[in-house]
Amino acid sequence: MSRTAWTPERLAEHQRVRLTALLRHAVTASPYYRRVLRSHAGDAPLSALPTLSKATLMEHFDEIVTDPRLHRTDLEAHLAGPAAAEPVHDHLMLSTSGSTRLRGLLSTRGGSSRSGWLR
């Protein structure tokens, strides 16, 4: 059954289950979220969760990422180098332009090469 045919109740339940799984993963894999979300790791509604600014993300990047192989200084050097388009530990790294005076780093997982990300 397509999710577009779900009742509002079924969709809300699905969203609740996925949010709970996401929060549990964040608390398990990220020292930052373990500290920040400790009281929200169960069934907190989305509206009760704290937001994350780009400044906080960059300040606590190494604590926030859930893959301990990723480190801000290494990733910034990678993005400045000739292989910037290649994944790092199966993570495609991207950055914001820094037009707000703060460059942000973003990571996503997927294929083993840049072409695998674009399929």
Kindly tell me if the per-residue pLDDT of 110 is higher than 70.
no
pLDDT exceeding 70 applies to what percent of the chain?
87
Which pLDDT belongs to residue 46? 84
Alpha-carbon distances of 17 from 22, 23, 24, 59, rounded to whole Å: 9, 10, 11, 30
Helix (H) or strand (E) holding 106: strand 105-109
- Summarize pLDDT for 1-12 with one digit per residue, the tens: 588 899 999 999
The domain ranges of the chain are 1-50, 51-119
Confidence (pLDDT) at 1: 56
- Confidence at residue 112, expressed as pLDDT on a 0 to 100 scale: 47
**H/E element holding 12?**
helix 8-29
